[in-house]
């Protein structure tokens, strides 16, 4: 018997509580979700929204990615709390530093990916997380970076322009009704990167609230990480 996949649906996966260690010695709490009975084909490294505004590793799009994508798309999902951020998983050591010292947090995540041999990693940032991806993502062995609701508050024009000509793919998913950066302005701000894949989501909002918006975002992610699995089924088990 099949059931519709809803916001509270948790699909089968191997889930492991993990601890990441930063170059400055902090311990960051996280979770790795893997396909249940086969190796992943790609890896999603989640960079969460602004912790001072309630963002953490359980922010809903990232949580639902971990609940669904290992089963539906054979994608490994690594989520973690950046320094000083608390969630039900626990509190990461350190203090919020506005995206500066968090450079080390991204390094810790990518070191973990390398140690575990996780394949074809992508950085997937949401809001504040997009700033970390833009500022630091080019340093790592990634396939690309996906930016959900990029505000471009902390990432400078130079940070954006540095992606031009890069072999790593850069995808900006911009909601039509975003609170901070709407598509028309975003196209101007990202014009320095001609290779950018720009996705405008009609009626989308910064927080991607609602199952329709969640499905749209997850499908955009899967189309890059494992296009053979898109579009995602809406029922489990799939027909």
In a domain, 8, yes or no: no
Per-residue pLDDT tens digits for 158-193: 999 999 999 999 999 999 999 999 999 999 999 999
In a domain, 14, yes or no: no
Number of structural domains in the chain: 1
Residue 65 to residue 74: CA distance in whole angstroms: 11
pTM reported for the whole predicted model:
0.98
Residue 47 to residue 65: CA distance in whole angstroms: 12
Report pLDDT for 10. 98
In a domain, 119, yes or no: yes
Per-residue pLDDT tens digits for 127-139: 999 999 999 999 9
What are the Cα distances from residue 157, in Å, to 90, 133, 238? 35, 14, 43
In a domain, 238, yes or no: no
- CA 23, 171, 61: angle at the middle one, nearest 5? 75
Domain of residue 173 covers 19-225
In a domain, 231, yes or no: no
CATH code of the domain covering residue 61: 3.40.50.1820
Per-residue pLDDT tens digits for 21-63: 999 999 999 999 999 999 999 999 999 999 999 999 999 999 9
Contact 144, 169 (CB under 8 A): yes
In a domain, 158, yes or no: yes
Q: Is the pLDDT of residue 1 over 90?
A: no
In a domain, 184, yes or no: yes
Which residues fall within 8 angstroms of residue 31, CB to CB, at 6 or more apart? Answer: 15, 16, 17, 18, 57, 66, 78, 79, 80, 89
Report pLDDT for 130. 98
In a domain, 91, yes or no: yes
Q: 64 exposed, middle or buried (CB, 10 Å; 0-12, 13-18, 19+)?
A: buried
| Residue 237: cis peptide before it, omega within 30 degrees of 0 | yes
């Amino acid at each position: 018997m099949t059931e519709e996949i809803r916001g509270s649906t948790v699909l089968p996966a191997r889930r492991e509580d993990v601890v990441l260690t930063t170059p400055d010695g902090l311990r960051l709490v996280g979770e790795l979700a893997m396909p249940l009975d086969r190796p992943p084909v790609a890896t999603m490294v989640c960079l969460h929204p602004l912790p001072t505004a309630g963002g953490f590793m359980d922010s809903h799009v990232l949580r639902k990615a971990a609940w669904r994508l290992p089963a539906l798309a054979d994608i490994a999902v690594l989520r973690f709390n950046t320094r000083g951020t608390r969630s039900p998983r626990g509190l990461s050591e350190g203090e919020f530093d506005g995206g500066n010292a968090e450079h080390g947090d991204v390094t810790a995540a990518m070191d973990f990916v390398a140690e575990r041999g996780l394949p074809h990693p992508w950085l997937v940032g949401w809001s504040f997380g997009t700033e970390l991806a833009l500022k630091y993502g080019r340093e790592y062995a990634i396939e690309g970076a996906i930016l959900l609701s990029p505000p471009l508050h902390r990432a400078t024009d130079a940070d954006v322009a540095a992606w031009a000509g890069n072999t790593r793919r850069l995808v900006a998913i911009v909601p039509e009704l975003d609170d901070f950066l709407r598509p028309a302005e975003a196209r101007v701000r990202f014009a320095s990167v001609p290779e950018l894949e720009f996705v405008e989501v009609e009626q989308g909002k910064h927080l991607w609230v609602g199952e329709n918006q969640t499905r749209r975002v997850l499908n955009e992610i899967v189309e890059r990480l494992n296009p053979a699995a898109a579009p995602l089924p809406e029922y489990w088990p799939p027909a």
